């Protein structure tokens, strides 16, 4: 049994847990927690349902594992924000990294969005322990930049919200964006340019 705090996961164990988590990310991000079924995950992973339950205690554990893994990836671009860098370039770099993530990891973005949309029932603790301290810390950094006169003064909290909202929008609302931008061959480039302009005009002292 691969339960609990085992010492060494076998080759097979590592491969199958990976297959399952990747399949589950697909299914959960497409249908939401309750909309996803173990059968769908099993089929997508190419394993039988009882076999899935050999590697994970249940549907919820798979979801929680995914959310835990996601948290690190998700916060990384903000962690990278360097208090000693050039303020405007740091912010614009952050915007760009978030936008790239929306393009490269849309499943992760939607998984996260779905969880928050439903009130973060399985992630509220993470928000308080992981996100909140980081958020407060980076708000302080930005506020210091503004007080130094290196950036125009705005509420750093709403600034960060607007960065999250505008970048993640391209992943989370992709179905809508696709309809409205149907024949644009360079959606990503257009978004990148627009957002760089917007945040530059907002923040240039």
Partner DNA sequence: TCGTGTCTTTACCAAATGGTAAAAATTGCC
Partner DNA sequence: GGCAATTTTTACCATTTGGTAAAGACACGA
Q: How far is the CB of 109 from DNA (least distance, A)?
A: 23
Q: Is the CB of residue 98 less than 8 Å from the CB of residue 168?
A: yes
Which residues in the 121-160 window bind a second copy by CB under 8 A?
124, 127-128, 131-132, 135, 152, 154-155, 157-159
32 to 71: interface string for DNA, x by CB under 7 A? ----xxxx-------xxxxx-xx--xxxx-----------
Cβ-Cβ contacts under 8 Å for 116 (sequence gap 6 or more): 123
Distances 149 to 100, 144, 188 between C-alpha atoms, Å: 29, 9, 32
As a residue count, the chain comes to: 205
Q: How far apart are CA 12 and CA 34, in angstroms?
A: 29
What's the token pair of residue 150?
């290196």
Which member of 68, 82, 118, 148 binds a second copy (CB under 8 A)? 118
Phi/psi of residue 39, nearest 5 degrees: -60, -45
* Size, binding site for a second copy by CB under 8 A: 52
Residue ranges in contact with a second copy by CB under 8 A: 30-35, 110, 113-114, 116-120, 124, 127-128, 131-132, 135, 152, 154-155, 157-159, 161-162, 164-166, 168-170, 172-173, 175-177, 179-181, 184, 190-191, 193-195, 197-198, 201-202
């Amino acid at each position: 049994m691969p339960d609990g705090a085992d010492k060494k996961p076998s080759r097979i164990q590592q491969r199958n847990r990976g297959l399952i988590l990747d399949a589950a990310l697909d299914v959960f991000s497409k249908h939401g927690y309750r909309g996803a079924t173990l059968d769908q995950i099993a089929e997508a992973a190419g394993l039988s349902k009882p076999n899935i339950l050999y590697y994970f205690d249940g549907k919820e554990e798979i979801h929680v594992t995914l959310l835990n893994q996601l948290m690190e990836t998700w916060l990384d671009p903000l962690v990278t924000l360097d208090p000693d860098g050039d303020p405007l370039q740091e912010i614009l770099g952050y915007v760009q990294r978030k936008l790239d993530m929306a393009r490269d990891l849309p499943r992760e973005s939607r998984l996260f969005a779905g969880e928050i949309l439903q009130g973060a029932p399985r992630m509220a603790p993470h928000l308080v322990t992981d996100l909140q301290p980081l958020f407060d810390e980076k708000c302080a950094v930005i506020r210091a930049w503004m007080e130094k006169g290196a950036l125009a003064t705005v509420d750093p909290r709403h600034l960060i919200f607007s960065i999250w909202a505008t970048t993640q929008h391209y992943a989370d609302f992709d179905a809508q964006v696709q309809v409205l931008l149907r024949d644009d061959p360079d959606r990503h480039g257009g978004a990148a340019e627009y957002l760089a302009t917007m945040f530059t005009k907002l923040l240039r002292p």
